[in-house]
Chain A
């Protein structure tokens, strides 16, 4: 029996091992499958990791984070609201048709059409007009002066007008045709999406004959796949998971600071955090350095403003938080009754529960009375977007606008018009409005510097750190993670 069993296992093992290995193919394990492959629909990492390789964008960011040409080779602002782009004329879609200015215009009109219902509408609806001046020239018009236009256009993928109009939106999503370095090959629903290299790509297409993006929801399983060699690149690691990879020659851990800023949101309309002294005490109770170094340790950088060095509008001169639990205790003990008001800390399973628990402990240590409430993501989002009286007293978030501009993070979290914001400060509103429409970088920078200072002085929100992203990769793979968490196959290489 035992003998037979061993033979059986050995033969199974032989089957598993003898599976042909193509050194040139890449397997990436994501945490979920793409929601859509139509780049103008869903906008979440699992989707854009994949479709950004199928499509070219009007502009892009290089690995250093600078905005550089892609489909547009140059651009010129001809008035406060009008910009003219010159396009490459050597770009063809995967079906062989040439990419022209008409396609760019169509792409803009499609994503800004409210009836199309793109979730990304809010990022592009400042664009009021798109016009093809000739085959390789496009003029975009905005509602008013819009300084973040270029940062948004980095996310505008160009879709082929003739294909979308011929097959319709649903079929296009199921079998997308782009002009990018990789062509769509197959979508096994729930399992994986596979791409093959586009031989006719106008630029560098990277080293892979094909690439497969698989959906592997459990982080422990993704790590196991990497260690077993069945995946070359995995996402969604934390530093403790990365530690599991340490000392193994065949794998490496890659990390980069991102444009996500982690913060502790406070409900300013409810006790205890309607009291500025107690908010100050909370800021003193939190050991930011302990969290970033002791707990996270992946290169996170403590921040005292809602921006990071990866953003336009980051201000170097904002004072860091002061960790002083004894001082915090003193403030709290003077207002012990108010501080002891039961407060709820809303969070969801996707956030790092280690941080949430550490924060709770630090705050309770100085005399607050905080309990954690984990709900699933939609419930959490409903709670943090609700009116102040129904809202939780505390929430932990990691905000990304994918635009690397302070506008995308300060406006939603601090402006009184925004559903996410619990702040209502007229002076702050004016600064944010000014910075939003000014085309002069210097006056924008000055406005943000002042805004950060107001937030810091009033403890409206407690920014914590610039988040880092960790990837596990096969040690043969060369890949430079970027602040906008992109995953361009044509910027990777095999190190052999």
Chain B
């Protein structure tokens, strides 16, 4: 177990290092932000002066080693667009992103799982078909479209919810739904197929033949045994939610990491981009690790280390 964890940790470090290196260099392929920072009337000398101030006149490899040095000292650097330390900027965004991700996961779980279960248990009936239609609809709408439609209907016409922004529970409802719809569909499908698989197994068949009632079966066996695919997909879903939040956060003016990513990539705010990507990579890696550990707790048949 310990060796397995150490090994995974080591690999995670390598991955994080790889991500940082790659992002450092490919970002700089796209030019620097000087032209964005200066007013339209700036001259060529102003450009050179700005480059010197920001350190872009130094050789790339020197900049890279300076950057690695900062990383080793856990110094994320300073945003030259927002004129603030990156750690401060991230600290203000992370709670917002967590709220939104939690909201979306809640929507996906609370609606997706039961729908998936119902679809499996009522396979072939009309209810199941209608649910399937709904699930597919959730999966077939671009969020920038469903988002603005929700805003128009619930924010402007009915005036039930604030159209955008943060600050209260009411603000969280629409973005969570918009972001959660796609995951909702994923969960409903995964649950459906996992439950269908389990239903076909011998132990369920014999239990049913022995006259064990369905609700008891569901609570006792089905839930536990269908959980593995759900957990493994959650690991992927979390990183997906962080990435997918880009458009939802833009539409609802939600100040999370997704919006920060778009804005800082667009502004060539290198230090912020690096930090956001690093954070995303760590989340992805640890979510996967956590999922692996959870498997072994839920299903002792899965032995850690065998899959890596």
Contacts and interface: CB of A to CB of B under 8 A. Distances in A.
Direct interface between A and B, CB < 8 A: yes
B39 interface: yes
A123 B160 contact: no
A215 B35 contact: no
A122 B155 CA distance: 45
B47 A12 contact: no
Interface string A365-405: 00000000000111101100100000000000001111100
Contact of A377 (B36, B41, B81, B170): B36
Interface stretch (A37-45, A158-166, A278-286, A456-464): A37-45
Given A122-B42, A379-B30, A408-B41, A114 B49 contact: yes
B225 interface: no
Contacts of A358: none
Interface string B162-198: 1111101110010000000000000000000000000
Contacts, number: 164
B307 interface: no
B61 to A, nearest CB: 22
Contact of A225 (B39, B164, B173, B263): B164
For chain A, which range describes its interface: under 10, 10 to 19, 20 to 34, or 35 or more residues? 35 or more
A188 B92 contact: yes
Interface string B34-49: 0111111111101101
Nearest to B164: A221
A73 B191 CA distance: 74
A43 B39 contact: yes
Contacts of A32: 263
Contacts of B169: 15
A261 to B, nearest CB: 11
A122 B260 contact: no
A16 B96 CA distance: 20
B53 interface: yes
Contact of A419 (B33, B43, B92, B166): B43
B37 A119 contact: yes
Given A117-B49, A189-B89, A190-B96, A412 B161 contact: no
Interface stretch (B65-73, B213-221, B250-258): B250-258
A344 interface: no
Interface in B238-269: 250-253, 255-256, 259-260, 263, 266-268
Contacts of B200: none
Interface residues of B, number: 60
B8 interface: no
Nearest to A413: B40
Contacts of B158: 13
Nearest to A192: B165
Interface string A441-485: 000000000000000000000000000000000000000000000
Contacts of A120: 39
Nearest to A9: B160
A228 B170 CA distance: 14
B57 interface: no
Interface in B69-122: 81-85, 88-89, 92-93, 96
A378 B33 contact: yes
Given A221-B164, A221-B252, A378-B267, 6 more contacts: A12-B161, A12-B173, A120-B39, A221-B163, A378-B35, A412-B41
Interface of A: 9, 12-13, 15-17, 19, 32, 35-36, 38, 41-43, 114-115, 117, 119-123, 170, 173-174, 188-191, 214-218, 220-221, 224-225, 227-230, 376-379, 381-382, 385, 399-403, 408, 411-412, 417-420
11 contacts: A170-B84, A190-B259, A191-B165, A216-B253, A224-B155, A225-B164, A378-B35, A382-B31, A400-B40, A411-B41, A417-B44
